[in-house]
């Protein structure tokens, strides 16, 4: 008899519906990840009790831990399901949706709030104009290397899922957006709009809501030094706030 993989999945019809659990036994294949596990269940959605059920809904795209779409809570740990290998996971493998976002269905969540936060903090560099702006200012290798760490953010949401200050009821922009403020404020061209970004994180739900629990840096799959970036931003935001207070 073929080896089976035990899976427990927390399911939910929509955001208002009550969640419930279903268990599945899936035929083991070498090098399986959680995505292939879910694909097997989709192919044959029969629970361990032998009852036919609806296929489990989830999200995925790149399958190489670069897009962040397939993030979910696996055995209590928030992570990407594409890079979660069955061989490395304790069984039964427990799959739950992320905890902080509205649920669309089953493991599929709506992460709009993260993208709204990026818009709020202006996590971009405006370079559109009516004429060619030419090359940007030069930047040092050291600065490039530091910025590169923060540029790896894929807005997957692991950090906000683990952050105790980010809850469904409040307005905190979260560690990912703050990391992007740091990134764009470090950029020699991005610096021109530094004040606008700092102004955005001084308002409601801004950097002051960080509680230094530092879970974000522990769970970030891209190992972004979020807490260092936030601490640097703390200093920058403080001096900007005092400057505004005294000069405006």
Return left, alpha or beta for 243; rule: phi > 0 is left, psi -120 to 50 is alpha, else beta. alpha
Q: Which residue, 53 or 208, is less far from other proteins as judged by CB? A: 208
Residue whose CB is less far from other proteins, 4 or 218 = 218
Which region among 39-47, 54-62, 87-95, 164-172 touches other proteins (by CB under 8 A)? Answer: 164-172
Within positions 33 to 92, which residues make up the interface with other proteins, using CB under 8 A?
A: 76
Q: Does 126 bind other proteins (CB under 8 A)?
A: no
Beta strand 71-74 pairing with 77-80? antiparallel
Nearest-approach distance from CB 122 to other proteins, in angstroms: 15
Q: Is 189 helix (H, G, I), strand (E, B) or coil?
A: coil
Q: Which is closer to other proteins, CB of 36 or CB of 206?
A: 206
Buried b or exposed e, range 29-63, using 16+ CB within 10 angstroms: eeebbbbbbbbbbeeeeeeeeeeeeeebbbbbeeb
Each residue 219-248 as x (binds other proteins by CB under 8 A) or -, in order, gives: x-----x-xx--xxxxxxxx--x--xx---
Cβ-proximal residues to 44 (8 Å cutoff; 6+ apart), any chain: none
Q: What's the closest the beta carbon of residue 238 comes to other proteins, in angstroms?
A: 6
Sequence-distant (6+) residues with CB within 8 A of 74 are: 34, 81, 84, 89, 93, 94, 95, 96
Question: Judged by CB, which is closer to other proteins: 81, or 215?
Answer: 215
Angle, helix 175-186 to helix 226-247, in steps of 10 degrees:
70
Beta carbon of residue 17, minimum distance to other proteins (angstroms, whole number):
22
Binding residues (CB under 8 A) for other proteins: these are 76, 99, 162, 164-165, 167, 170, 172, 199, 201-204, 206-215, 218-219, 225, 227-228, 231-238, 241, 244-245
């Amino acid at each position: 008899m073929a080896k089976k993989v035990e899976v427990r999945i927390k399911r939910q019809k929509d955001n208002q519906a009550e969640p419930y659990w279903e268990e599945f036994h899936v035929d083991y294949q070498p090098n399986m990840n959680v995505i292939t596990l879910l694909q097997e269940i989709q192919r044959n959605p029969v629970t361990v009790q032998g009852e036919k059920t609806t296929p489990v809904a989830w999200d995925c795209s790149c399958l190489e831990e670069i897009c962040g779409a397939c993030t979910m809570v696996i055995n209590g740990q928030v992570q990407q399901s594409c890079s979660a290998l069955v061989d490395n996971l304790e069984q039964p493998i427990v799959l739950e949706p992320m905890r902080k976002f509205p649920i669309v269905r089953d493991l599929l969540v709506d992460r709009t709030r993260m993208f709204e936060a990026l818009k709020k903090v202006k996590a971009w560099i405006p370079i559109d104009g009516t004429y060619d702006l030419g090359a940007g200012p030069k930047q040092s290798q050291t600065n490039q290397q530091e910025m590169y760490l923060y540029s790896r953010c894929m807005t997957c949401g692991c950090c906000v899922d683990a952050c105790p200050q980010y809850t469904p009821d409040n307005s905190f922009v979260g560690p990912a957006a703050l990391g992007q403020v740091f990134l764009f404020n470090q950029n020699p061209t991005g610096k021109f709009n530094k004040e606008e970004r700092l102004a955005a994180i001084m308002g409601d739900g801004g950097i002051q809501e960080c509680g230094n629990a530092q879970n974000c840096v522990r769970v970030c799959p891209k190992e972004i030094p979020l807490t260092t970036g936030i601490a640097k931003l703390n200093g920058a935001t403080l001096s900007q706030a005092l400057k505004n207070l005294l000069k405006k």
